[in-house]
Chain A
């Protein structure tokens, strides 16, 4: 099992360019998440999905769009990149809780994005 994979690992964009980050998981998880990590800020939730065809906004959704057309994939799009979107992006997945709040959340390796 590959777990959670992210493509690409690194990317440099110019302001105004667009791109899509791909997250794939092979654990048949229902829930998937996109986070961004900035220095001194910890991880903040951008968007999430609770199943194929569903998406919802997290804490910092502005400037991003997402799609979950297939259960195993969760795409994060930047339509017009801005320098403020320079960050490390993490995808994560987990199963819903059968009981109680524990189910380990598995993270991808991250994508380091720089917007010039």
Chain B
């Protein structure tokens, strides 16, 4: 079973508008972390934001915020005021505290975001 599900293979957003990228996860651990990475066309993986399972507040980093709904097991990324440079692949990932592979990151398949001028 997929542990990280990103249901939107591709999305378009108008420049300066906000966009939400969906991520749902599956784990039986009580302690885990959720991450979002950006991968531009140049290929590098850029860490954007982190949310811990025990964090009561939603994480925010500049224009990025994470809409964490623990009961629904969702960790959606919200990008406010989209910019052309936001066009990229976005990956949701999870690390389980007691998962195998020494807390390896488990990735979703990604969402390709295209920002239109």
Q: How many A-B residue pairs have CB under 8 A?
A: 70
Assess whether A88 is in contact with B43, with CB atoms less than 8 Å apart.
yes
Assess whether A101 is in contact with B44, with CB atoms less than 8 Å apart.
no
Assess whether A110 is in contact with B43, with CB atoms less than 8 Å apart.
yes
Interface residue count on the A side (C-beta < 8 Å): 28
Within 8 Å of chain A (Cβ to Cβ): is B45?
yes
Docked CA distance A112–B41 (Å): 13
Residue of A nearest to B105 (CB): A105
Within 8 Å of chain B (Cβ to Cβ): is A43?
yes
With A43-B105, A56-B102, A96-B103 known, 5 other A-B pairs at CB within 8 A are: A50-B102, A92-B105, A100-B54, A101-B32, A106-B47
Can you show 30 pairs from A to B with CB atoms below 8 A apart?
A31-B103, A40-B9, A42-B4, A42-B109, A43-B45, A43-B107, A45-B101, A45-B104, A48-B102, A48-B104, A58-B104, A90-B45, A92-B45, A92-B105, A97-B97, A97-B103, A100-B31, A100-B52, A100-B97, A101-B31, A101-B32, A101-B53, A101-B97, A101-B103, A102-B95, A104-B50, A105-B35, A107-B44, A110-B44, A110-B45
